[in-house]
């Protein structure tokens, strides 16, 4: 077969993040917490606007008025020489920008980008926190959100009232245009040949269409974000401000939020959708790239604090086990007559093992770990490729919960000690992570830098590695559906798409009517749906509004995952962290650090409105309404290297690269009293005794 050039957009899944400022920085293109060559700044920091890869410093996080800057998702195009069969890692890929000349002599004249953002949360099904994806098993579905709005899940009546659909937008890099996903900006799509076509009949939907008045604590929900290009023609997707609005009840009071996940009568401005590009060449020819997906969601409050299990770990695990990503790692074995991990496979210490160890030690900056744990975690991170695994603290993987066994109810000393997926008390590493660790513990591993990933592959990995994995209850950026093979292009080896690419449901934008919603409720899991995702089909599995879940998911007893019954091997009142790396719980405030001496930890969410009678609700806004209003005041955890030490009244001080400290919080001032942070283990107040029969 003759080789041909294919184009792919990377990262295959990218994340834009909310901000209340009109200004923005760029989402990180390095992996959280990992060492970077030539610098002591670890990966995961957002990038300064207008630069290739200059990490932000603490003063870049807010604008002059103190508003939180958005994080724009930057998409790049890479060209690949495709011979009809892809493997992973490919290691190749050449970036294509406006002006790039290909090997065949064609020069890129313009790039026509398009995207389509929607939010189907209010129209979708409830998140069931103790069932997770199993709520969709056996041809079942959970209850619908907003059940008082009549109709079936796909009825026009419900979708018109509950779905937010900004419609598609398209821009050319050469125009320098900005397209906003709001009502005032016209919907546009791209037709074959790269022509941008207006869609005046597109049924744009926002909550204000069917609600005379809405409670708008942070302004109207009238946009889902925007797209623009940078000076090299790469696409930037900016999220909305992250605001949420609520309906009023019959008494004119904002509808009470009753929980974390499925609040009736509320909308937020999260979204997701496809990203596509048509390359226009100087000879008049055009080529379409394999598109990507953008998710617009929560801010990254601790961008360098690596999750022990990230979205990347979960997606990689699924591709390895279900979609033949690396047959030398996992595949069919004839003498066993089944698929299994290959005993001959040697993971690379730097790429496959060390990230887990680094993540372990980084948890200290966002969780209230006791001193013994801090020493242990330090010892884990100190392990190098030259150590004999049998002589380390990780010998025999004695403290790692085995995902192949029924160990999810065993707490300390097994790690990770944070809460687990739906129905389980504690988190486990993925089966692929565990296999890699097993190989390492048997001295079956390679030293050195390992197999080089291509630049696009690095972006794919970094983007997802910076997001919360494992505990999708329902998650922060994405939920459990991100691990479903049904949502991906499963023909990744032969189609030219490459792996990790979400399959897009074909949207032709034909037969449009202002009265009839264009999108349906779309893809749902475990229903044999493999025809691709519509806009909004990722974010609809998240909490509504997003702030109440972020706020609530600080610390819990394990029973929250297991139908209210303590299944763990510890006290029912013992509290554990929900999402410690992505949702900081206990932090060190940079302003209180002198000479690199750490102060007492403080809760990340603290100050007015956060004082908790029950430790189980510490570190949260006690009123969910406050979480909708004040989420942008929460501080960000940044490595000492990138903290601007211009403390008022003090000499500029430098912080150690070893420290990751909270900056830019607007919740308290230095010296304010706050709830104390006890070292783990700590306990919730006793639960109320159930009333028995008096007779």
Partner 1 sequence: MNIKHTDWALEHLEDHLQAAVDLELWTIPFYMSAMYSIKDRESDAYQLIRTIINQEMLHLQCAANIANAYGFSPKITPPVYQGTKIPHLNFKLDPSEKTEPYMPYTAEIGPLDLKHINGMCLVELPEFDPPPLEILLESLINEYSTIGAFYDALRFGASLLKGHIKGGVRQVDYFSAFYRNMPNMTVTESGGAGFDQISLLIDLITDQGEGQCKKDPTVPSVFQNTADDTEPSEDHFVKFNQIKDAGGPDGCKLPETFSTKPVSEYTPEDIQLQNILVKQFGQLTQLLESLFRGENPDNFFPVMASVGGALRNCWEHGVTPKFSETNQH
Q: Determine the Cα–Cα distance for residues 509 and 62; give it in Å rounded to an integer.
A: 39
Of 97 and 679, which CB lies nearer to partner 1 in the complex structure? 679
274 or 389: whose CB is closer to partner 1? 389
**What SS3 class is residue 174?**
helix
Minimal CA–CA distance to 31: which of 426, 303, 263, 232? 303
Contacts of 136 (CB under 8 A, 6+ apart): 142, 524, 525, 526, 527
Residue closer to partner 1 (CB basis): 374 or 529: 374
**Minimal distance in Å, beta carbon 399 to partner 1?**
7
Separation between Cα atoms, residue 196 and residue 131, nearest integer Å: 44
Q: How far is the CB of 302 from partner 1 (least distance, A)?
A: 24
Q: Write the DSSP string, 612-655.
A: -SSGGGTTS-SSHHHHHHHGGGS-EEEEGGG-----TTS---PP
Q: Shortest distance, CB of residue 455 to partner 1, whole angstroms?
A: 38
Please give the structure tokens belonging to residue 502.
């979400």
**Start-to-end Cα distance in the chain:** 83
Instruction: Determine the Cα–Cα distance for residues 247 and 251; give it in Å rounded to an integer.
Output: 11
Of residues 412 and 526, the one with the C-beta less far from partner 1: 412
CB of 619 to partner 1, least distance (A): 17
Q: How far is the CB of 446 from partner 1 (least distance, A)?
A: 20
Task: Give the footprint of partner 1 on this chain (CB under 8 A).
Answer: 370-372, 375-376, 378-379, 390-399, 405-407, 409-414, 569-571, 573-574, 678-683
Q: Which residue has the tokens 């739906």?
A: 422
Q: How far is the CB of 210 from partner 1 (least distance, A)?
A: 51
CA distances for 304 relative to 159, 366, 453, angstroms: 38, 11, 21
Residue (372 or 650) nearer to partner 1, CB: 372
Closer Cβ to partner 1, 95 or 683, answer by number: 683
Q: Could you tell me the smallest distance in angstroms from the CB atom of residue 416 to partner 1?
A: 15
Nearest to 637 by CA among 377, 365, 381: 365
CB of 555 to partner 1, least distance (A): 14
Rg of the Cα atoms in the chain: 25
Nearer to partner 1, 497 or 573 (CB): 573
The residues, any chain, with a CB within 8 Å of residue 336's CB and separated by 6 or more, are none
Q: Is the peptide bond before 398 cis (omega within 30 degrees of 0)?
A: no
Residue 259 or 678 with smaller CB distance to partner 1: 678
């Amino acid at each position: 077969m003759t080789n041909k050039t294919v184009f792919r957009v990377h990262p295959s899944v990218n994340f834009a993040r909310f901000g209340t400022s009109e200004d923005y920085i760029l989402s990180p293109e390095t992996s959280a917490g990992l060492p970077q060559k030539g610098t002591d700044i670890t990966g995961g920091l957002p990038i300064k606007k207008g630069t290739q890869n200059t990490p932000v410093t603490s003063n870049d996080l807010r604008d002059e008025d103190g508003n939180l800057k958005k994080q724009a998702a930057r998409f790049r195009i890479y060209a690949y020489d495709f011979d009809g069969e892809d493997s992973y890692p490919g290691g190749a890929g050449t970036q294509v920008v406006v002006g790039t000349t290909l090997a065949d002599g064609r020069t890129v004249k313009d790039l026509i980008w398009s995207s389509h953002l929607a939010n189907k949360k209010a129209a979708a099904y409830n998140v069931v926190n103790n069932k997770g994806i199993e709520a969709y098993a056996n041809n079942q579905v959970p209850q619908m959100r907003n059940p008082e709005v009549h109709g079936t899940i796909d009825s026009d009546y419900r979708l018109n009232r509950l779905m937010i659909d900004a419609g598609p937008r398209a821009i050319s890099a050469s125009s320098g245009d900005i397209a906003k996903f709001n009502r005032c900006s016209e919907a546009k799509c791209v037709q074959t040949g790269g022509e941008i076509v207006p869609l005046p009949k597109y049924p744009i939907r926002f909550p204000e269409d069917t609600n005379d008045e809405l409670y708008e604590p942070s302004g109207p929900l009238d946009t889902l974000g925007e797209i623009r290009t940078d000076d090299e023609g790469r696409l930037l997707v900016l999220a909305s401000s992250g605001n949420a609005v609520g309906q009023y009840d019959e008494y004119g009071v904002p509808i009470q939020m009753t929980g974390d996940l499925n609040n009736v009568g509320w909308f937020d401005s999260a979204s997701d959708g496809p990203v596509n590009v048509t390359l226009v060449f100087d000879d008049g020819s055009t080529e379409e790239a394999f598109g990507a997906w953008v998710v617009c969601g929560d801010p990254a409050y601790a961008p360098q604090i690596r999750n022990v299990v990230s979205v990347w770990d979960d997606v990689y695990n699924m591709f390895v086990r279900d979609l033949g990503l690396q047959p030398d790692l996992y595949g069919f074995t004839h003498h066993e007559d089944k698929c299994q991990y290959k005993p001959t496979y040697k993971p690379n210490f730097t790429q496959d093992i060390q990230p887990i160890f680094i993540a372990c030690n980084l948890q200290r900056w966002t969780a209230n770990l006791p001193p013994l744990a801090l020493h242990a975690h330090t010892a884990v991170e100190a392990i190098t490729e030259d150590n004999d695994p049998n002589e380390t603290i990780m010998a025999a993987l004695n403290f790692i919960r085995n995902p192949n066994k029924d160990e999810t109810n065993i707490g300390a000393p097994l790690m990770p000690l944070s809460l687990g997926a739906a129905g389980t008390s504690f988190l486990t590493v993925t089966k692929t992570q565990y296999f890699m660790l097993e190989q390492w513990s048997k001295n079956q591993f390679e030293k050195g830098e390992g197999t080089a990933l291509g630049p696009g592959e690095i972006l794919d990995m970094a983007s997802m590695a910076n997001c919360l994995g494992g505990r999708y209850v329902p998650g922060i950026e994405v939920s459990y559906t991100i691990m479903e093979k049904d949502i991906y292009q499963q023909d990744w080896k032969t189609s030219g798409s490459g792996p990790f690419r979400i399959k897009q449901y074909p949207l032709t934008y034909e037969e449009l009517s202002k009265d009839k919603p264009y999108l349906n409720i779309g893809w749902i899991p475990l229903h044999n749906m493999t025809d691709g995702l519509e806009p909004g089909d990722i974010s609809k599995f998240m909490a509504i509004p997003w702030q109440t879940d972020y706020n609530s998911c600080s610390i819990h007893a394990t029973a929250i995952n297991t139908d209210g019954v303590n299944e763990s091997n510890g006290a029912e009142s013992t509290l554990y962290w929900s999402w410690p790396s992505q949702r900081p719980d206990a932090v060190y405030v940079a302003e209180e650090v002198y000479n690199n001496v750490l102060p007492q930890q403080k809760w990340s969410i603290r100050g007015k409105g956060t004082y908790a009678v029950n430790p189980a609700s510490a570190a949260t806004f006690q009123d969910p309404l406050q979480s909708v209003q004040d989420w942008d005041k929460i501080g960000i955890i940044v490595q000492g290297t990138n903290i601007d030490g211009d403390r008022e009244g003090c000499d500029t001080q430098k912080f150690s690269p070893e420290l990751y400290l909270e900056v830019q919080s607007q919740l308290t001032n230095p010296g304010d009293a706050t709830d104390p942070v006890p070292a783990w283990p700590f306990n919730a107040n006793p639960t109320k005794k159930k009333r028995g029969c008096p007779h």
